[in-house]
Structure 1
Amino acid sequence: MSAEPIMEPVRPQADPIDLLIALEKAASPMPIRAEFVEGTGYVPPQPEHRHNAGAVKLIVQFHLAGLDLAGVNDGFRVPHPDGRTMALVVPDFYVCRRTPTELDESYRRAHRGWYPIDMIALVGEVTSTNHETDTGPKFRTYAAAGVPVYVLINRHSKTAHCYTDPVLPGDDPTEAYYKTDEKVSLGDPLPLPAPYPTLDTAPFRGD
C-alpha cells in the first residue's frame, strides 16, 4: 500500500458505510479498515513497526493501571444530530466506558460493523504520514462527538498531547475543538486526568 492515505469524498445522499466497504475491497489483498471523516473516506497508510509497537506499549500502560477496557481495532460511528453518519473512525487505541452491551451489539449489526462512539471514554492516535488527519479532521470529530479525552502522539511535531474539555460552539462539527491541551515533548511523561495513568512516551523518543 502507498505510504500516503487514499481519500475519496462521499457523494451527497450516499451511505458512508457503503463507500468504506468499496474502498476496503479496492485495497485488497492488503488488510485495512477505511475511515470516514468530514465528508471524506480515507484508506489510511499502512503503519510501520515503530508506530504499532509504540501504540501497543501505551495500551499496556492502561491495562497495568487496571483499565481493562483499553483496546484497539474496533470501529466507531459518530452520528449527526439528524441521524446521518458524521464519521466512522478506527482509533489507534481507546478506553471504553463499558463492555459492549446487547444494545451496543445490536447497534453494531445495524451499522454493519461500527459501534456507537459514546462507548469511548478516551481515544488515542499515533501519527503516521497522514498526521494532518489526526491533528485536524479527527481532532475536530472527536471533540464534536464529546469524547472527553483525546491523546495524540504527534511524531511529526515530536510532541504528545492530552486534549480535554471538548467544545462544540455551534451546529457545525468542523468548529469543534478541545479547550485544554496538556503538551509534552516525546519521551517525557504525559499527565492524563484521573483515573488514567501518566503515560510514558519514551517508546516514541527519537521518532
Structure 2
Amino acid sequence: MNTDRPGEPDLMARMEPVQLLAAYEAVSPMPVRAEFIEGRAFLPLAPPGDGHGDTVLKLCFQLRSAAVPHAGIGNGFRFADRAHGTTALIIPDVYAMRREPTSTDEAHFAAHPGWYPIDMLALVGEVTSTDHGTDTGPKLRTYAAAGVPVYVLIDRHSQTAHCYTDPVLPGDDPAEAYYATDIKVDLGEPLPLPAPYPTLDTAAFIEG
C-alpha cells in the first residue's frame, strides 16, 4: 500500500482522520477505501491481484469452517485514546470479532462513519500484497498497541505464516508496540493458533 498523504500537511494536521479519509474518498476518481496508520493515510498502490484475494478468502474460510464466531472480512475499525484522539483507522483482510455489534458499537459506527471500535477485535489476519512492509510494520504495531490478542500474518513475500500473540505497549507511543510471541512456519506447514482457534493449513496459501 502507498503511504501518500492526501492534502497539504497543514490541512492534514487540522483534520480529524475520519474526516480526512472521507474527504479523500469523496474526490477520488475511483472507489477507494483508505486507512490511517501512524499518522499517515495509506492508499491502495495497485490492485493486490488474484493471489491476495484468493488467500484472504481461504484464510477466512478456514476460520468459518472451524466455527470461529463473528469471523469475516470488510469492516473497518477505529483505534483511539483520550490523549491522541483517533490513532488509526484500519481494515483487516480477515478478522474475528469478540461480539456481534451492540447498540453502542453501532452508535460509534454512526458517529465515525464506516468505523467500528477496535476493541471488538479478537483476532486479525493480514495477507501481504504489493507492499508487504505495511503488514509487517505499521499494521503489526498498530494491532499490538490496540491490544488485539492474535495477529495472523500470511507473508507471501517470504513464504511464511506467523501467529503473533501477547501484545505489548511499553510506553505511550503506539509505534513502540510489539507482539512478544511470534510462532512462524514456512508455507506448507501447519500453523497452530491459540484456543479457541484452529490450526491453519498453510499449504492452502501456496500459490500454484
User: TM above 0.5, one fold?
Assistant: yes
Structure 1 counterpart of 2:74: 73
Shift of 1:6: 5.2
Matches of 1:181 and 1:193 in 2, distance apart?
A: 12
Matches of 2:207 and 2:82 in 1, distance apart?
A: 42
Structure 2 counterpart of 1:141: 142
Shift of 1:23: 2.6
Matches of 2:67 and 2:2 in 1, distance apart?
A: 35
The one-letter code sitting in structure 1 at the alignment partner of 2:39 is: G
Shift of 1:19: 1.7
Contact 2:127 2:153 in 1 (8 A): yes
Deviations 1:37-90 (A, max 9, x none): 000001123221111111111111111111131000000000034261000000
Structure 1 counterpart of 2:108: 107
Change (3 A) 1:151 1:140: same
Structure 2 counterpart of 1:61: 62
What TM-score, normalized to structure 2?
0.92
Deviations 1:166-185 (A, max 9, x none): 00001111000000000001
Structure 2 counterpart of 1:24: 25
Secondary structure of the corresponding residue to residue 33 of structure 1 = coil
Map 1:148-159 onto structure 2 (within 5 A).
148-159=149-160
- Structure 2 spans left out of the alignment, 5+ residues: none
Give the share of equivalent positions with the same residue, in percent: 59
The one-letter code sitting in structure 1 at the alignment partner of 2:36 is: F
Matches of 1:73 and 1:206 in 2, distance apart?
A: 23
2:5 equivalent to 1:8: yes
What TM-score, normalized to structure 1?
0.92
Contact 1:162 1:182 in 2 (8 A): yes
- Structure 1 spans left out of the alignment, 5+ residues: none
Q: Across the two proteins, how many residue pairs are aligned to each other? A: 203
Structure 2 counterpart of 1:39: 39
TM-align CA RMSD: 1.6
The one-letter code sitting in structure 2 at the alignment partner of 1:33 is: R
Shift of 1:123: 0.5
